Structure 1
Amino acid sequence: MKKIVFYISFLLLVLVGFSSFGQERKKLEKKHKKIKNEIKQINNLLFKAKKEKGNALDDLKDLSQKISARERLIETIRLETKQLSKEIQANEQQLEKNNSELKKLKKDYSDMVVKTNKNRSQQSKTLFLLSSESFYQAYKRLKYMQQYNDYRKKQGENIIVKSTEIKKFNDSLIQKRKSKESLISDEKSQKKEIESDKKNQESLVSKIKKQEKKYKRDLQKKIKEDKRITARIDKLIRAVIAKANKGKKTTKKASSGFVLNAAEKKLLASFEQNKGRLPWPVKGIITRRYGVQPHPTFSGIKINSPGLHIVTKSNTDAKCIFNGKVLALQSQSGGKKSVLIQHGNYISAYNNLENVYVKKGAILKTGDKVGKVFTDKVSGKTKLLFVLFKNTAKLNPAKWIRTN
């Protein structure tokens, strides 16, 4: 009985171990797939766009992003390979144990068959029963023969079950070894790609250094333009909040935030409940994240991004992330436009639009088209600047939209 309990406990531990291995590897496989898709998007959106004139600074930033993604992919592949090695080792140990058990089962079965064949004849069975001293003894002998036959049958079935288990473990082992070989091959391929990318990176760094002053001047000019656009949007938001609150009874200052009615408060609560699950305004990749960050090339220069810079396919329409009302439209330099949508006391801003499909005051639903995203002829990129506010305070949109 103790042996049976020990065997069952051991089997449960093995099954739990394999389940744990499998779950961990599934997570890594999911991450692997996600990063590969990210690299594919980077290639399609950042490197296949038609450019009238290349900018080494932008090209370097794009290349650095791709290298970073490949490095993350290689690390994930290494973890997958390590996990597979553990699974293979566990499979081999279990296979060895199963083979040992099968060998013992076959030996026991063989010994049983030999013993049975010595007294195989029907006559010997009849004599064994007839030689009983009492009916009770004859009954006991008959039950014994039945139990013996059942046990022999059970042993035969156990051999078949154990053989099937071994075949499954063998098949699994073969598949895992193939997967491991595939991962090792993938890792080598990614390393070659990184070597090529890093050579191009060095070439771009060298080119930038030769004209460092020019690139720095252009960068500072761009930073000033971004600040100017951000300031205009901030000013517009303060103005529309003041206008929205005009005539409403409140002790708040007009510029401190929206004064909401019952319906707007309900919308606000619904918006907040969906934090982390809101849809992306466009499908694409984030090339610049929210907040203050050091410039990837020039030390000492910091960039303050008011939102997410998302590069997408050309001719893409930005979509409303949640039910709301068009609060304001604004024109920017170069014919570009911005749309601000109110969701209670939250505002989603869609900047760098070429065309706008909505009018001020329009009621929109989640997924409604807001406008066509502008494609820069020089860089060839189609990029949306997506900003999120709570009243006048900027928020990190990445915390509100769902992870891809």
Structure 2
Amino acid sequence: MKLSKFLLFLFFVLTASVAVAQSSAELKRKKEALQREIDLLQKNANKAANSKKLTLGEIKSLNAKIGLMQSKISVINSEIKNLDNQIHENTNTVHNLKGQLGQLKKEYGSMIRFAQRNKNAYDKMMFIFAASDFNQAYKRIKYLQQFGQYRKKQADYIQGKQKDLNYKIVILDKNLKEKSSLLHEQENEKNKLGKNKSEQSVVLNRFSKQERLYKQDIASKQKQAAQLERNIRSAIAREIALAKKKAEEEERLAAAKAKAENKPAPTTAAEKSKASGGYLTATPESAKLSAQFEGNRGSLPWPVTMATITQRFGKYKVGQAQNDNDGIDIETQEGAPVRAVFNGTVSTVNSAMGGYFVLIRHGQYFSVYSNLKSASVSSGQTVTTRQNIGVAGHEDGRPIVKFQIWRGTVPQNPEAWLGGK
């Protein structure tokens, strides 16, 4: 019964250890990914440091770096918490193993003393011959044999327990060293964060004092963003108009065919569009592509391989100016290739904001890639997931790609659609 309980306890300890190990590995990967993003921002900042003029990109990049550093500290805290749990579990296991080992040695000592008292062959023979009948004598012979075997098994079991105990002590020592290293890393990251927050305070104070000088720059960027949005909405409207025209033409041909064959009129394009959410899904092909795109929500690849979000989706303020972002701004590597996030057809390739923007249709969904230095696709071209469509351009001296996802004429938050980096 005691052995069964111990084996059950050992099973739970091992299961918990595997789960913690997996969690620790995930935290380590996440921490490394965050550090890569921090390094990318710092590298871009070093390149842009020659410019004496404070830019909005510098403020956004610094804010993003501080957010990443805070996330990294949070991950380190989670790693420390995991290690604390492991240390607690391993300490309990060591105590249990020591207690069991002590009990086993005590029981083994009793067996050895009994064996010493009865080691004489004459005593063993007397023990057997003292049996009341042959059956009892046979049982006594078997008992002596089993006793010797059991004693050997117990000795082996004690050695195994000792090895388990030594192994757990080594693991516990390793846990304690890892925790010490993580605490040191945490302290370093907090110091770096403090320096960056001081830098942020200086930059924001400088911006606040010179905000009037930046109003023209902010107004220019707002104007460019508004023009880009008009271009995107216009391109989407054209796609809807073309889809409607195609659907109505197919309806006309289908109605004529049904009339010639004296059959009931088929479902109209208007009815189809109402049922499916628009003319963009009026055909089976576009409806299928829309469903596939929706099915990949949360797992779409990023448009660039190295990416850090410097401006998120929705409303934000720069000084006193209120802005609205229909997508996300992604800071990336110099000359980074920009990739399609899903299969689709290129609807528009146009110039905007001193660069290019590419709009790709995925059924009733659209993905938009703007602030491109160059585009390597053309309108009407079919593209596949992760196919290169252009090269990242610059904004405020930094390589930036502006990425959006639209469902018809409604912008979506891209972060909800993109998967892990």
User: With structure 1 as the length reference, what TM-score do the two structures score?
Assistant: 0.89
5 Å matches for 1:336-351? 336-351=355-370
Aligned position for 2:315: 292
Q: Counterpart of 2:125 in structure 1: which amino acid?
A: T
Q: 2:400 aligns with which of 383, 387, 390?
A: 383
Deviates more, 1:174-183 or 1:60-69: 60-69
Unaligned runs of 5+ in 2: 249-268
Aligned counterparts of 2:66 and 2:203: Cα–Cα separation in 1: 14
Say whether the 8 Å CA contact 1:245–1:259 is kept in structure 2.
no
Aligned position for 1:40: 39
Aligned position for 1:327: 347
Aligned counterparts of 1:27 and 1:141: Cα–Cα separation in 2: 60
Say whether the 8 Å CA contact 1:347–1:391 is kept in structure 2.
yes
Aligned counterparts of 1:238 and 1:53: Cα–Cα separation in 2: 43
Aligned counterparts of 1:4 and 1:109: Cα–Cα separation in 2: 16
Say whether the 8 Å CA contact 1:70–1:190 is kept in structure 2.
yes
**Post-superposition shift, 1:315?**
1.6
Say whether the 8 Å CA contact 1:56–1:204 is kept in structure 2.
no
Aligned position for 2:242: 243
Q: Are 1:304 and 2:324 an aligned pair?
A: yes
5 Å matches for 1:143-182? 143-182=142-181
Change (3 A) 1:266 1:60: closer
Aligned counterparts of 1:193 and 1:326: Cα–Cα separation in 2: 44
Change (3 A) 1:333 1:20: closer
Aligned counterparts of 1:23 and 1:371: Cα–Cα separation in 2: 38
Say whether the 8 Å CA contact 1:240–1:328 is kept in structure 2.
no
Change (3 A) 1:86 1:260: same
**Post-superposition shift, 1:21?**
4.4
1:98-127 Cα offsets, whole Å, 9 max, x none, are 112212211221222122122223333233
Aligned counterparts of 1:177 and 1:273: Cα–Cα separation in 2: 45
**Post-superposition shift, 1:183?**
0.4
Q: 1:363 aligns with which of 382, 389, 397?
A: 382
**Post-superposition shift, 1:401?**
1.7
Aligned counterparts of 1:228 and 1:374: Cα–Cα separation in 2: 18
Aligned counterparts of 1:358 and 1:77: Cα–Cα separation in 2: 43
Change (3 A) 1:333 1:214: same
Aligned position for 1:393: 410
Say whether the 8 Å CA contact 2:57–2:398 is kept in structure 1.
no
Aligned counterparts of 1:263 and 1:362: Cα–Cα separation in 2: 16
5 Å matches for 1:247-266? 247-249=246-248, 250-251=269-270, 257-258=279-280, 260-266=282-288
Aligned counterparts of 1:256 and 1:14: Cα–Cα separation in 2: 56
Deviates more, 1:274-283 or 1:17-26: 17-26
SS at match of 1:315: coil
Aligned counterparts of 1:72 and 1:328: Cα–Cα separation in 2: 38
Change (3 A) 1:375 1:85: same
**Post-superposition shift, 1:166?**
0.4
What value does the CA root-mean-square deviation take over the aligned residues? 2.6
**Post-superposition shift, 1:29?**
3.5
Q: Counterpart of 2:327 in structure 1: which amino acid?
A: G
1:220-257 Cα offsets, whole Å, 9 max, x none, are 3322221122112212221232134325313389x964
Aligned counterparts of 1:387 and 1:78: Cα–Cα separation in 2: 34
5 Å matches for 1:58-207? 58-207=57-206
Change (3 A) 1:248 1:209: closer
Aligned counterparts of 2:49 and 2:378: Cα–Cα separation in 1: 32
Say whether the 8 Å CA contact 2:280–2:286 is kept in structure 1.
no
Say whether the 8 Å CA contact 1:95–1:166 is kept in structure 2.
yes
Aligned position for 2:254: none
Q: Counterpart of 1:322 in structure 2: which amino acid?
A: F
Change (3 A) 1:155 1:310: same
Aligned position for 1:313: 333
User: Percent sequence identity over matched residues?
Assistant: 30
Change (3 A) 1:126 1:54: farther
Aligned counterparts of 1:67 and 1:111: Cα–Cα separation in 2: 66
SS at match of 2:270: coil
Aligned counterparts of 2:144 and 2:47: Cα–Cα separation in 1: 80
Say whether the 8 Å CA contact 1:257–1:392 is kept in structure 2.
no
Aligned position for 1:214: 213
1:325-374 Cα offsets, whole Å, 9 max, x none, are 1112211243x111111111211111111222112111111122211221
Q: Counterpart of 2:303 in structure 1: which amino acid?
A: P
Change (3 A) 1:177 1:396: same
Q: Counterpart of 2:350 in structure 1: which amino acid?
A: Q
Say whether the 8 Å CA contact 2:281–2:290 is kept in structure 1.
no
Deviates more, 1:177-186 or 1:361-370: 361-370
